[in-house]
Amino acid sequence: MTIDATVPNVARMYDYYLGGYHNFAADREAAEKILEIFPDTPAAARTNRRFMQRAVRRLSEAGVRQFLDIGAGLPTQGNVHEHTDGRVVYVDNDPVAVAQARALVEGDERVSVALADLRDPEALLADPDVCGHLDLAEPVAVLLVSMLHFVPDEADPWRLIARLRDATAPGSHLVLSHLTLDGVDAAPARQGTQVYRGASAPIVPRTRADILRLFDGFELLDPGLVWIGQWRPEPGEDQVSHGYGGVGVKR
């Protein structure tokens, strides 16, 4: 595996926001630029993790037994398989994130890890670590948590989700959170987006209306598409939200 430590990597920048150690100087330098513009980014990253964990717990309690976490990122505290006793597949297109995840879950038959890219959904679904581990004839919760803002409009994230929706059984869920710049002044918005232009993936914040359309063909569960921290919050959790989150079900 070759790692270019000189290009800021979006998975490792996020790891840095969360206080992790899987990052290099270039990642930290770019992340620090974001922190100068948006100092509450670490709190927002924690809010996002908590959203994912709550969604996984609620769906597990409701009987969902399979989780496909796409854009899973570098393993950090409170990974999906620690919040469910169902089967879990972690997917990322970053080889370092995949290698770290494999090292973490080695020997755990409940969990599998695939190196795949959402932009090629056919290859992702056909990957033996995905289709050999999950039964797609049974409901699956597909997680796209804080990752679709790395998929540009040209790759048509709406079509990619529709493909996953069509490949999964009725009763499957979509767990999604997404960065927005709704309500952010133009200057910091431009500066923040600029920092990611030099990173492994540019960032594409979207409006609430565009994020809502990602749920086409799913019925949103209560409380709908809301600020990430407002999705069924639990006492004592961070409430700094840099985006919207929601959970939908395919009927």
CB of 223 to ligand SAM, least distance (A): 20
What is the nearest approach in angstroms of ligand SAM to the Cβ of residue 251?
Answer: 25
Between 71 and 205, whose beta carbon lies closer to ligand SAM? 71
- Cβ distance to ligand SAM smaller for residue 52 or 130: 52
* Both structure tokens of 196: 């990611």
Q: Which one, 72 or 134, has the nearer CB to ligand SAM?
A: 72
Q: Which is nearer to ligand SAM, 72 or 221 (CB)?
A: 72
| DSSP letter for each residue of the chain | ----TTS--HHHHHHHHTT-S---HHHHHHHHHHHHH-TTHHHHHHHHHHHHHHHHHHHHHTT--EEEEET--S--SS-GGGS-SSEEEEEES-HHHHHHHHHHHTT-TTEEEEE--TTSHHHHHH-HHHHTTS-TTS--EEEEES-GGGS-GGG-HHHHHHHHHHHS-TT-EEEEEEE--TT--HHHHHHHHHHHHTSSS------HHHHHGGGTTSEEPTT-SEEGGGSS--TT-----SEEEEEEE--
Q: How far is the CB of 199 from ligand SAM (least distance, A)?
A: 10
Minimal distance in Å, beta carbon 79 to ligand SAM?
A: 9
In the complex, minimum distance from the CB of residue 23 to ligand SAM, in angstroms, rounded to a whole number? 12
Nearer to ligand SAM, 73 or 205 (CB): 73
Least distance between ligand SAM and beta carbon 182 (Å): 19
Angle ∠(157,158,162) on CA atoms, nearest 5: 115
Comparison of 119 and 232: residue with beta carbon closer to ligand SAM: 119
Residue with nearest beta carbon to ligand SAM: 73
Q: Which residues bind ligand SAM (CB under 6 A)?
A: 10-11, 14, 48-49, 52, 70-73, 92-94, 97, 117-119, 145-147, 150-151, 201
d(C-alpha 135, C-alpha 87), whole Å: 10
User: Which lies closer to ligand SAM via its Cβ, residue 11 or residue 56?
Assistant: 11
CA distance 38 to 197: 16
Q: How far is the CB of 55 from ligand SAM (least distance, A)?
A: 11
